[in-house]
């Protein structure tokens, strides 16, 4: 993403009159045009694992855990400045009464009360300090929610806990902690409302995620998302979206007309099989979620010019190729590499991190 787009960038997706003849639009869109607006909020380091969280008042919190021991959780101000909070690995180590411990924050999610729930992975003299901590930005107070022993027992991972990667997501009234390593994974569930008044109980609703009766094999690139209805979904780049039901069974998402409206945002860069090395950016409105079978092909590959936007609604897919897109300020549509994105329920936008440039931006779509 060009550094020149710190001002508002507008991408106008127009219904092209010539598309009826050229076949560049699948399931012809309505005659109204659509405006997609991108606004850069700040710039971070590029190509870094990045966690985003949105506070109760719309504050955007960011964490890049691999930027050193001083990697603090940061917040973006309305002017675009980035300010460090008091939540650092050193502050967590002190709260654990292990001031010389080394570690990093590996997951972050916003919870009720304007607070942040963070997964910390650390050690002190070979002893595990993995823990869930609750942070209040208003007071800088750090509370230990679950210790290493609590997590090892609940996940049934034992000593393998220290070898696990972690991801935290909100799904309805629950927070899910996904722990995984090369030999297995565990999904732990927490009632977010319990964080207001007591130390929450960690539960493990299912022992394993299965597909057709067999243990499901996760990939390194799989990303977990939670929906407002409490369900879980796995985004698998280049494949699509898989739903995990309440007993751990996994299956592709049903067609949009057969499922309830979803609030999971979905921005997907997908490699074009007909042009190896070429990636298309597909943008789907916040309310909708594509399934694996609906992503490709979105239109006739011989007629469609890349890069292209794809929009899925409850009843149809719509595709606009680059001849139908007006790009201002030289925005390189084809270069986006989305690492993380969240729905801002306060403003109806998507907040996203582009690993190619390191920029954090908001994205909204509306009728013109």
The pLDDT-based confidence of 362 (bands split at 50, 70, 90) is confident
Between 188 and 310, the more confident residue is 188
- How is domain 3-367 classified at the CATH fold level? Neuraminidase (2.120.10)
CA distance 103 to 128: 10
Which residue's entry shows tokens 């592709």?
Answer: 252
pLDDT in tens, 118-134: 999 988 887 889 999 99
Quick check: pTM over 0.75? no
For residues 12 and 325, is the Cβ–Cβ distance under 8 A? Answer: yes
Q: What pLDDT score does 190 carry?
A: 93
- Decide if pLDDT at 218 tops 60: yes
262 contact partners, CB below 8 Å, separation of at least 6: 227, 228, 229, 287, 288, 289
pLDDT in tens, 17-63: 222 323 233 333 333 344 556 678 888 888 888 899 988 888 899 99
pLDDT in tens, 270-329: 444 444 544 444 443 333 333 333 333 333 333 444 444 444 433 444 444 444 443 334
CA distance 2 to 29: 30
Q: Is 10 exposed, middle or buried (0-12, 13-18, 19+ CB in 10 A)?
A: middle
């Amino acid at each position: 993403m060009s550094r020149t787009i710190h001002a508002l960038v507008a991408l106008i997706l127009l219904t092209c009159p010539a598309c009826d003849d050229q076949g560049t639009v699948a399931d012809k869109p309505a005659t109204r045009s659509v405006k997609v607006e991108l606004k850069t909020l700040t710039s971070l380091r590029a190509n870094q694992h990045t966690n985003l969280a949105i506070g109760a008042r719309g504050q955007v919190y960011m964490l890049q855990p691999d930027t050193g021991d001083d990697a603090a959780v940061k917040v973006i101000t309305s002017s675009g400045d980035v300010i460090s909070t008091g939540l650092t690995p050193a502050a967590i180590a002190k709260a654990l009464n292990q001031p010389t411990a080394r570690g990093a924050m590996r997951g972050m999610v916003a919870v009720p009360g304007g607070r942040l729930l963070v997964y910390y992975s650390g050690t002190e003299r070979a002893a595990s300090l993995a823990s869930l901590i609750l942070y209040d930005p208003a007071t800088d107070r750090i509370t230990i929610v679950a210790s290493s022993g609590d997590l090892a027992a609940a996940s049934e991972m034992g000593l393998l806990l220290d070898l696990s990667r972690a991801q935290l997501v909100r799904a309805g009234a629950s927070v899910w902690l996904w722990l995984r390593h090369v030999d297995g994974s565990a999904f732990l569930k927490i009632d977010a409302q319990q964080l207001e008044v007591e130390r929450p109980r960690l539960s493990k609703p299912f022992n394993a995620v299965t597909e057709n009766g067999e243990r499901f094999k996760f990939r390194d690139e799989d990303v977990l998302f939670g929906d407002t209805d409490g369900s879980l979904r796995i985004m698998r780049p280049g494949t699509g979206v898989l739903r995990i039901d309440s007993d751990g069974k996994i299956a592709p998402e049903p067609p949009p007309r057969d499922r309830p409206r979803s609030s999971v945002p979905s921005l997907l860069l997908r490699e074009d099989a007909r042009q190896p090395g070429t990636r298309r950016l597909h943008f789907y409105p916040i309310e909708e979620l594509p399934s694996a079978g609906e992503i490709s092909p979105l239109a006739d590959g011989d007629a469609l010019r890349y890069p292209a936007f794809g929009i899925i609604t409850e009843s149809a897919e719509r595709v606009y190729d680059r001849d139908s897109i007006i790009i201002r300020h030289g925005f390189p549509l084809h270069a986006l590499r989305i690492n993380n994105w969240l729905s801002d329920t306060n403003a109806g936008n998507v907040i996203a991190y582009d690993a190619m440039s390191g920029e954090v931006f908001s994205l909204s779509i509306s009728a013109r």
